[in-house]
Amino acid sequence: MNRPEAEKATSRLLEVMDTLRKECPWDREQTFDTLRNNTIEETYELTDAITDKNMEGIKEELGDLLLHVVFYSKLGEEQGAFDYTDVANGVCDKLIYRHPHVYGDIHADTPEQVKQNWEALKLRKKNRKGGTLGGVPVSLPSMVKAFRIGEKAAATGFDWEKKEDVWDKVKEELMEVDAEIKANNKADIEAEMGDLFFALINACRLYGIDPEAALERTNKKFIHRFNHMESRAEQSGKSLHELSLNQMEEYWQEAKQFE
């Protein structure tokens, strides 16, 4: 990275934000609350680009998120609460504090040790009333939240001794789902399904798999196969619901050959 050019680009972005806030009717109207949903949308667009390994898209979406950081910082400055300098210095101070193995005399030889130190320092610094799990944002999507809960719990040592042991828990939860289905109690089925999902997400964590990415990969695979099946049905002069299950399966298997 060319440091002088990076600093020049950052300064340019701050100047553009100042100008837009003064001269653009839309930008003048924005608040923390009005930008919130846009920020969430931009974050998901970045994750889509990452999933697709679209480097041009990643670059563009990172720019959009950076704009939001600068925008929120400008709003904070106008309210006399904080500015971009405070935001940047704040994250630098946080990174230095949470990396004592780099900036201090603590030793951490593995990524797991780094994560354990990180979580311990976060808890000590913020002294949250909610304890270890108090820092998990309430508004996180449930799958991401479950993954973070598992990570934070594991950082305290509350985890399976061997990652292979998690499958016993998955099997146990699957049996409990089956039992509640046979009992035909919808509320208990929902509860046990949740436990099964949670166990599977922990399995993903232990095996170094991002459950969100794994599920999205399957979503895209299903869409591709389903669209192929629908297209082949149209080619034969039929709608999808007119096909037999055997015909659907034939087209489904055909689609797999093009993956």
Instruction: Note the pLDDT of residue 125.
Output: 65
pLDDT band at 116 (very low <50, low <70, confident <90, very high): confident
Write the pLDDT tens digit of every residue in 37-94.
Answer: 899 999 989 988 988 899 999 999 999 999 999 999 999 999 999 999 999 999 999 8
Of residues 258 and 219, which shows the higher confidence score? Answer: 219
Instruction: Note the pLDDT of residue 253.
Output: 93
Write the pLDDT tens digit of every residue in 189-211.
Answer: 999 999 999 999 999 999 999 99
Write the pLDDT tens digit of every residue in 221-253.
Answer: 999 999 999 999 999 898 888 999 999 999 999
Contacts 24+ apart (CB under 8 A), 149-158: 150/198, 150/201, 150/202, 150/205, 151/115, 151/119, 151/205, 152/119, 154/205, 155/115, 155/116, 155/118, 155/119, 155/120, 156/119, 156/132
Q: Is the pLDDT of residue 16 over 90?
A: yes
For the entire predicted model, the pTM comes to: 0.66
Instruction: Note the pLDDT of residue 123.
Output: 67
d(CA 152, CA 122): 11
Of residues 221 and 104, which shows the higher confidence score? Answer: 221
Nearest to 201 by CA among 145, 159, 160: 145
Q: Is the pLDDT of residue 175 over 80?
A: yes
Write the pLDDT tens digit of every residue in 118-160.
Answer: 777 776 665 555 678 887 888 888 999 999 999 989 988 899 9
